[in-house]
Each structure stands twice: as C-alpha cells, then as structure tokens.
Amino acid sequence: MDTTLEPIKEPVGATSRAGLWAILAVVLIADMLDLMDSTLTNIAAPTIVAELGGGAGLLKWLGSAYALALGSLLVLGGRLGDRFGQRRVFLIGITGFTLASLACGLAWSPTVLVIARLIQGGFGALLIPQGLAIMTAVFPRDFKSVAFATFGPMMALASIGGPILGAYIVNANWFGLSWRPMFLINIVFGGLGLALAAKILPRIPADPKVVLDAPGSVLLSLAVLGTIAGLIEGPELGWGPWPLSLLAIGIAAFAAFAVRQAKAANPLILPSLLRNRGFTAGLLAGLGYFAVVTGMAYVVSLFCQQALHRDPVQTALTGIVPMSVGIIVASFIAAPLIGKLGRNLVAAGVLTTALGAGWLWLTVYSNGLALGTWDLVGPMVVTGLGMGLTFGTLFDIAVGDASPDEAGSAGGSLSAVQQLAGAIGSAVITSIWLAYGTDMAHAMQVCLIVVGIVCLAVLAIIPLLPRTAANAGHGE
C-alpha cells in the first residue's frame, strides 16, 4: 500500500497506542486476504479445471475475474466509504467477501465459480480502500510511518504465503476437498476480521455531500468487462461475431466513459489528471507493465504444472516463491533510492524484468521441457528483482506532478489500473499460451517474447514520467 498517494490529514479523535495497533491488525487482515486470494488461483488453476471442467475458458477467467471486478469498482468503493462512512462500508465489504469466498469453495460448476470470483472482487473493492482511509483519518503523524512501514513486510509475507498455502492445500487434499479449502479458509480469516472490525474500527463521520458518479462507474465496468470478455472468448471462439461484439461494446463504453469524465460534476478521475502528461504516461506504463508481469506469473505456473508435470508445491517453490523473494529484496533496495534516482529507478526495474524474462526464454529455448528442478529459480529471482524495483516506484513517480487535491483521485485511479492490468494480462498471456496447444515449450517462449516487447515499450514511455516522486521534489 502506497502512502504517498493520499494527502496528510489531521487524525480524528484520540485512540490509545494499543487501539491503534488493533486497527492496524484489522486493516492488515483485510489487505492480506485480498493479496492472497489474488494469487492463490495461480497455483491451483490446473487442478480446479481438471476437477471442475471448463477447459481453457475457466483457465483464463480464473486469472481475470477477481481482478476485473476489483479494478472496475475500486475507485467507486473509496467514494462509497466517504459517502456512507468507512467503518460501515468496511464491514459490508468483509462480510460480502467472506460469503463470496464460501460460494467459491462450494461452487459446483465453472460458471458458478467465475460468478463467485466476480462477486468476491466486487466486495474486495468495497473493503480495500477503507483501510487506508481509516488509517489516514485516525492515526497520528508519528504512528503513520510505523504503520505504513509494517505494510511492506506483511504484504511480502502474504505474497509468498499465498502460493505456498494454496499449493499445500491442494496437495494435502483435506477431507477429499482438493482445492476448495483455499476459499473456505477465508471463512475463518474473514470471520475473525469481521468480529475485530465490528469491535475496534472507529466511527468516522460520513460526508453526505459526496456525490457518486454512478453512470461513470457503470460505463467503466461495462468497458472493462466487454474488453476482457472479448479478449478471453476471442481465441477460443475463433474471433466470431460474439467476441467481436463484446470488444466493440467495451471500446464504445470506454469512449463514453472518457466523455463522461470530461463533463461530470464529480468524475471518478479528475480531468486535470488526464491532461497531466506525467500521470497519463504513468497510467499507460502501469497498464502495460502490470499486465505482462501478472500474465507471466500465471503462465509460469501453468508451464510448471502442465508442461513440466510438477505438483503445486514444487511449482510454488521453484517458480513463484523465487519471484516473490526477488520482489521483497528489491523493494527494500528501492525505498532509499527513489528520491535519488527517480524515474531512472523505474527504468532499471523494467529493464531487469525484461532481462529476467530473456534469461527464462533462453533457458526454455535451450532445454525445451528437459528442465532441471531448479533451472527456473535464477530467471525468476531476476524477474522478481525487476518487479520489486518497479512496483514501489512507478506510481510514486507518476504522481510526482500531481497537486495535493488530486492525490486521492490519482491514487485510486492508479490502483484500479494495476488491478485491471492484471485482469487483461492474465487473459491475453493465457490466450497466447493456449493458442499453441501441446507445443508448450514454444508457447512459453512466445509468451516471454511478448513480455519482453511490452517491457521495451514501457521503457520508451518512462522519459515522459516526472523526474522524481511526489515526496522527493518536483517533476519536470
């Protein structure tokens, strides 16, 4: 979670130190639930498809449905918290998220599972923005730095723990339920978070004057759903009338959304931000970068299980965990350097990601499917290092020229783009993977070439970003 995207506010009321830590624990539970649920299916997808059916379509929707709903509604979720009170919306969000997790665990068909994942992401969009808003309003200035410093290690733990937990659950096959306890375990964590939140979270006054841009939210959701559904269904249906119609609806809705944002009295994205070259460059760079790295993580999991015939635990330990370790190490390296290097640090991260993907391409090209157990570790660590350098810096730099009154809209917009990019990346990269059928070594190479090309395109955009982050001086 990024602390530079919100303007500093004075704390509301007075809370004891123990109370502040309790609030932080509740917010961490919510954010860790979100992060773990966004990564669990990367490991379990082949097992879910094998047992539930759904084929290629389910493979692609599993990687996209949650992020699609979360990204489409994230900005609206933050505004709903302002309008009706963060505590109330947080409680609704975590309740709905927990119930949707139960529906995922009990799903009896691919359609039911995808719908449940969409609902889960929608309630996640209500849940996630409220934590930062509550912390910003309640925490005194001296505790803010302590609280936000805690987020990095805890989120890193969740990013590693999610795939490992998912792999362990699938392999353990508790009570013969296979993958289902991955979602059912959220009843425990979500229930605990709900009970603590109801008792601990403060009542921050709602602002009835906040006006919600419902038409803009509907247009954005329709645009994203149409575009991603078209990208998912197109390769499978041969780009017939149905997927092309979905894409046309998505593009038309995007155009209508842009017009709406220019004219609405209370737009989801401030028009002044869209006229800001550095910010729009950050949006485009984030869209491309987060799409390919999310898609790459997903397809590496598929490659390990479907091509190399590794079980979920082996896949996690030799593919996903090395990448997560690289992210964590680079995140700590990047933090003290962002003020000194600015957008050059983003460029270094994107270039390192491309080098990791290139090393992985060379490894697969040289060995085909005859890969040793640990052959993926080196390339995945390097890729993770690049991701860690970029994750913590790209959006900080993108808002370097944003004014304080634009910070909230900028932060929500960039976070939404990150989620939507994940949905698009999972859909597109998985479609490329599936297009080559049984020639999985070649499919993996093509996916990695796409990752490299997009990283180079992002590198070309980086000179348009502000030179420095918002808290490190002014952009150019």
Condensed to tens digits (0 to 9), the pLDDT of residues 405-424 reads: 666 667 677 777 877 888 88
59 and 202 fall within a common domain: yes
In a domain, 339, yes or no: yes
pLDDT of residue 473 exceeding 50, the answer is no
pLDDT for position 405: 60
Choose the final residue of a domain: 265, 281, 300.
Answer: 265
* % of the chain residues with pLDDT over 90: 26
Mean pLDDT check: name the lowest of 37-46, 138-147, 364-373: 138-147
pLDDT for position 148: 64
313-329: pLDDT as tens digits: 888 888 888 998 898 88
Secondary structure class of 326 (helix, strand, coil): helix
204 and 239 fall within a common domain: no
pLDDT for position 476: 44
Nearest residue to 207 (alpha-carbon basis) of 3, 411, 9, 414: 9
Separation between Cα atoms, residue 172 and residue 356, nearest integer Å? 32
Average pLDDT over residues 289-294: 90
How close are the terminal C-alpha atoms of the chain, in Å? 26
81 and 179 fall within a common domain: yes
pLDDT for position 408: 61
In a domain, 60, yes or no: yes
402 and 303 fall within a common domain: yes
Separation between Cα atoms, residue 229 and residue 112, nearest integer Å? 16
Average pLDDT over residues 84-106: 92
449 and 426 fall within a common domain: yes
pLDDT of residue 469 exceeding 70, the answer is no
In a domain, 11, yes or no: no
- Quote the tokens at residue 162: 């999610």
Residues spanned by the domain of 229: 213-265
pLDDT of residue 149 exceeding 70, the answer is no
| Contact assessment for residue 89 and residue 78, using Cβ atoms and an 8 Å cutoff | no
224 and 353 fall within a common domain: no
For residue 5, what is the DSSP state?
G
Q: Which residue do the tokens 């509301």 mark?
A: 12
20 and 71 fall within a common domain: yes
In a domain, 380, yes or no: yes
pLDDT for position 456: 95
232 and 380 fall within a common domain: no
pLDDT of residue 4 exceeding 60, the answer is no
Q: Specify the number of domains making up the chain.
A: 3
In a domain, 6, yes or no: no
220 and 168 fall within a common domain: no
pLDDT for position 220: 84
331-341: pLDDT as tens digits: 888 878 887 88
Q: Which residue do the tokens 């009706």 mark?
A: 84
* % of the chain residues with pLDDT over 70: 88
240-286: pLDDT as tens digits: 888 889 889 989 998 998 888 777 777 777 777 777 888 888 889 98
pLDDT for position 285: 92
Nearest residue to 241 (alpha-carbon basis) of 250, 253, 233: 233
Look up the CATH number of the domain holding residue 48: 1.20.1250.20
pLDDT of residue 356 exceeding 90, the answer is yes
pLDDT for position 12: 52
Its pTM stands at: 0.81
Separation between Cα atoms, residue 455 and residue 463, nearest integer Å? 14
pLDDT for position 304: 92
381 and 234 fall within a common domain: no
In a domain, 4, yes or no: no
Instruction: Quickly state the pLDDT bin for 475 (edges 50, 70, 90).
Output: very low
pLDDT of residue 450 exceeding 90, the answer is yes
In a domain, 475, yes or no: no
In a domain, 248, yes or no: yes
160 and 256 fall within a common domain: no
246 and 276 fall within a common domain: no
pLDDT of residue 10 exceeding 60, the answer is no
187-210: pLDDT as tens digits: 988 898 899 998 888 887 777 777
| Contact assessment for residue 424 and residue 228, using Cβ atoms and an 8 Å cutoff | yes
pLDDT of residue 474 exceeding 60, the answer is no
Max distance between CA atoms of the chain, in angstroms, equals 63
pLDDT of residue 457 exceeding 50, the answer is yes
